[in-house]
Every structure is written in structure tokens, then in C-alpha cells.
């Protein structure tokens, strides 16, 4: 246990930090047994306003909620050559955010806690795990689902909260929970954006001012696309592509229309417009709902 902790691993109204799964698990189990509702918010840290919104959302869930934030930069979901080493890890700032937002429990495991030697079992995301983000990031979703499954087992939440910002992640987590009979509810929270529409992301910190300005085109393109949804799929994609073309330094990886479960785009009903692009060496993603 680390600063702020108590003998029984939990103190109402105070932040308690655990890094060992075997120490946290009995704490949440006991709280659940006492009728509290455990709500898990998994993050990789570098907490921003988007994460704060997830925590606020968690706290508004009816019942006697105990919000649990996990902070873990999961090596399994980074491919070779990605930003695992340079990913920001401002732990003290993150703990301060959690304090300000009224979080009771923070889980900050080390890699050795989550993947001790000999730990080789992985969750397979299935075909959707190889599409969209998965096409560019091999193994990303298997690694993400593996850590989410472990977090769900360790914490045993009644509810877990995820952002729509990572829509494919949210979709795959929902599917895993359904397919593998995890006994909890998954809640999705709409994306929190900057004033110019840009989705907040820990990776935005990599952008220099000119790249940050150019990156604003992603959300503008999505808005341009959705604004012509009454004219059909081709017009949506053309409008979004036209906007993206206005920033030559933004290298588009994909722009796709899908249905709300990320299957083929529907002729009518709820769809999703998704984009991924590189700005310099930084990969950015965004998505919005679109109705047909
Ligand atoms: P990360 O720390 O980037 O792994 O994100 C942790 C959680 O926060 C995920 O469920 C993300 O989808 C969510 N999240 C990240 N950015 C935002 C945002 N701008 N708005 C809402 N949720 C977000």
C-alpha cells in the first residue's frame, strides 16, 4: 500500500492507492459484500478532462458507488516501435486528479504484477480486432482485452466505464463481456472535446502547436460528413474526405462508415463515422455517431 492507505485498504472520502492485485481484490470484494456498487474506470493515466468526465459519470450512477480508477500503461497493447516508452506517466498529477474527482480507490499495478513470468494466456478479439485500428496496430486489441479481462477479475466491478473516443475498444469490450459472460454492465461515455472540436487524448501532448492546429481537421471532417447524412453514404465520405484534404500534413490512415456495432454501414438507422490519421509521428483517432 502507498500514501493515503489505511489498514483495511479503504477509507471513505479519502484516496487509497493499491499496486498489488492480491491486496486490492479483497478490498473491493468486501465493499461489494457490504452493498456498495463498484465502478471501474480503466485508464493508462496522463488523466485529462475526458477521464474526469468518465469518473463523474461513474459517480452519478445510482447506488452507493465506489469509483475505482486503474492506471496502467499496458505493454501488451503496444506494438514494437509504438510509443510505449515515451507514453506520459505523471502519476502524482493523476492521483491529484483522482482526489479532486472524489475517487476512493486507485489501482496502479506494475508490469510484473500484471504479467509475472510465465503469464502467456491472451484474449483473442476475433475478426473485428484486425480491422480499423487493428489493421494498423497488430495485436493491439488482443492486448487491450487481456488487460481489461484481468482488471475486471481483480476489481470485480458491477459497472465499468469506457469512452466512446476509443469506439472500437468500447465495442470489443462490450462483445467480450457478452461472449465470455462477465457479470457486469459496460457504460459508454460520449467524447469530451476541446473548443475547436478536437477530441481530448493523452497523445495530443505529443503535438507541437502547428501540428495541434492541423489536427483540428479530424473532428471538422467528421462534422462535415455527418452534416450531409441525409444524402447517403457516398456524400458523407466525400464531404469528410474533402475536409481532410485541406490539411496536407495530416496523413489519413482510414475514414470509414460502419454501423453502431462496427459492422457494415446501415442503409438506415444508427451508424458511426471513424477516422484515423498521422500528424508527424503521432497517430490520432476520432469518431462520431451518424444517423441514416
Ligand atoms: P486511455 O487512458 O487513453 O487508455 O483512456 C482511458 C479511458 O478514457 C478510455 O475508456 C477512453 O476511451 C477514455 N477517454 C479518453 N479520451 C477521452 C475523451 N476525450 N472523452 C471521453 N473519454 C475519453
The tens digit of pLDDT for each residue in 10-27 reads 998 899 999 999 999 999
Q: How far is CA 131 from CA 115, 198, 231, in A?
A: 26, 24, 26
Q: What angle do CA 113, 40, 13 make, to 5 degrees?
A: 100
Q: Give residue 2's pLDDT.
A: 43
Is 113 annotated among the ligand-binding residues? no
Is 235 annotated among the ligand-binding residues? no
The model's pLDDT over 231-279, given as tens digits with 9 standing for 90+, comes to 999 999 999 999 999 999 999 999 999 999 999 999 999 999 999 999 9
Lining ligand 1 with CB less than 6 A are: 43-44, 50-51, 53-54, 162-163, 165-166, 189, 191-192, 199-202
Q: Indicate if the pLDDT at residue 4 is higher than 70.
A: no
Q: Whose CA is nearest to atom 10 of ligand 1?
A: 162
User: pLDDT over 90 for what percent of the chain?
Assistant: 96
Is 96 annotated among the ligand-binding residues? no
The ligand 1 atom at the shortest distance from the C-alpha of residue 166 is 12
Nearest to 220 by CA among 251, 241, 189, 248: 241
Element at 69 (helix H, strand E): strand 65-71
Residue 191 Cα to ligand 1 midpoint, Å, equals: 8
Beta strand 37-43 with 16-18 is unpaired
- Yes or no: say if 42 and 123 are a contact pair by the CB < 8 Å rule: no
What is the rounded distance in angstroms from the CA atom of residue 78 to the CA atom of residue 133? 12
What is the rounded distance in angstroms from the CA atom of residue 173 to the CA atom of residue 180? 10
pTM across the whole model: 0.96
Q: Give residue 16's pLDDT.
A: 97
Residue 165 Cα to ligand 1 midpoint, Å, equals: 6
Segment 186-193 mean pLDDT: 98
Q: Indicate if the pLDDT at residue 89 is higher than 50.
A: yes
The model's pLDDT over 154-170, given as tens digits with 9 standing for 90+, comes to 999 999 999 999 999 99
Segment 92-108 mean pLDDT: 97
User: pLDDT over 70 for what percent of the chain?
Assistant: 97
Q: Which residue among 18, 51, 57, 140 is the active-site one?
A: 51
Is 138 annotated among the ligand-binding residues? no
Average pLDDT, whole number, for the chain? 96
Q: Whose CA is nearest to atom 14 of ligand 1?
A: 163
3-class SS shares of the chain: helix, strand, coil, % to 5: 40, 20, 40
Sorted by sequence, the CB contacts under 8 Å of residue 208 that are 6+ apart come out as 280
Nearest to 287 by CA among 222, 190, 230: 222
Q: Indicate if the pLDDT at residue 6 is higher than 70.
A: no
What is the rounded distance in angstroms from the CA atom of residue 129 to the CA atom of residue 30? 35
Ligand 1 pocket, mutate which of 43, 44, 168 (most atoms under 8 A from CB):
43
Residue 7 Cα to ligand 1 midpoint, Å, equals: 32
Residue 240 Cα to ligand 1 midpoint, Å, equals: 23
The model's pLDDT over 41-67, given as tens digits with 9 standing for 90+, comes to 999 999 999 999 999 999 999 999 999
Q: Indicate if the pLDDT at residue 7 is higher than 60.
A: no
Instruction: Based on the residue annotation, tell me whether 51 is a catalytic residue of this protein.
Output: yes
What is the rounded distance in angstroms from the CA atom of residue 287 to the CA atom of residue 191? 9
Q: Whose CA is nearest to atom 13 of ligand 1?
A: 163
Amino acid at each position: 500500500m502507498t500514501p493515503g492507505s489505511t489498514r483495511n485498504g479503504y477509507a471513505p472520502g479519502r484516496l487509497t492507492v493499491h499496486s498489488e492485485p492480491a491486496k486490492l481484490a479483497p478490498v473491493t470484494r468486501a465493499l461489494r459484500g457490504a452493498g456498495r456498487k463498484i465502478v471501474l474506470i480503466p485508464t493508462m493515466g496522463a488523466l485529462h478532462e475526458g477521464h474526469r468526465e468518465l469518473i463523474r459519470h461513474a459517480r452519478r450512477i445510482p447506488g452507493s458507488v465506489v469509483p475505482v480508477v486503474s492506471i496502467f500503461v499496458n505493454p501488451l497493447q503496444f506494438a514494437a516501435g509504438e510509443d510505449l516508452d515515451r507514453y506520459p506517466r505523471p502519476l502524482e498529477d493523476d492521483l491529484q486528479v483522482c482526489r479532486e474527482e472524489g475517487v476512493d480507490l486507485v489501482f496502479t499495478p506494475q508490469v510484473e504484477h500484471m504479467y509475472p513470468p510465465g503469464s502467456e494466456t491472451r484474449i483473442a478479439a476475433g475478426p473485428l480486432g484486425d480491422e480499423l485500428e487493428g489493421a494498423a496496430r497488430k495485436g493491439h486489441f488482443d492486448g487491450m482485452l487481456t488487460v481489461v479481462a484481468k482488471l475486471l477479475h481483480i476489481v470485480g466491478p458491477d459497472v465499468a466505464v469506457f469512452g466512446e473516443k476509443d469506439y472500437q475498444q468500447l465495442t470489443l469490450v462490450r462483445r467480450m463481456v457478452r461472449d465470455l459472460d462477465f457479470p457486469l454492465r459496460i457504460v459508454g461515455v460520449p467524447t469530451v472535446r476541446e473548443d475547436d472540436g478536437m477530441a481530448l487524448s493523452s497523445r495530443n501532448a505529443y503535438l507541437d502547436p502547428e501540428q495541434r492546429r492541423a489536427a483540428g481537421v479530424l473532428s471538422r471532417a467528421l462534422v462535415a460528413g455527418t452534416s450531409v447524412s441525409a444524402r447517403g453514404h457516398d456524400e458523407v465520405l466525400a464531404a469528410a474526405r474533402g475536409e481532410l484534404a485541406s490539411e496536407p500534413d495530416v496523413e489519413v490512415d482510414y475514414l470509414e462508415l460502419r454501423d453502431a456495432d462496427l459492422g457494415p454501414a446501415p442503409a438506415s438507422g444508427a451508424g458511426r463515422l471513424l477516422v484515423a490519421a498521422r500528424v508527424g509521428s503521432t497517430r490520432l483517432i476520432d469518431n462520431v455517431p451518424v444517423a441514416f
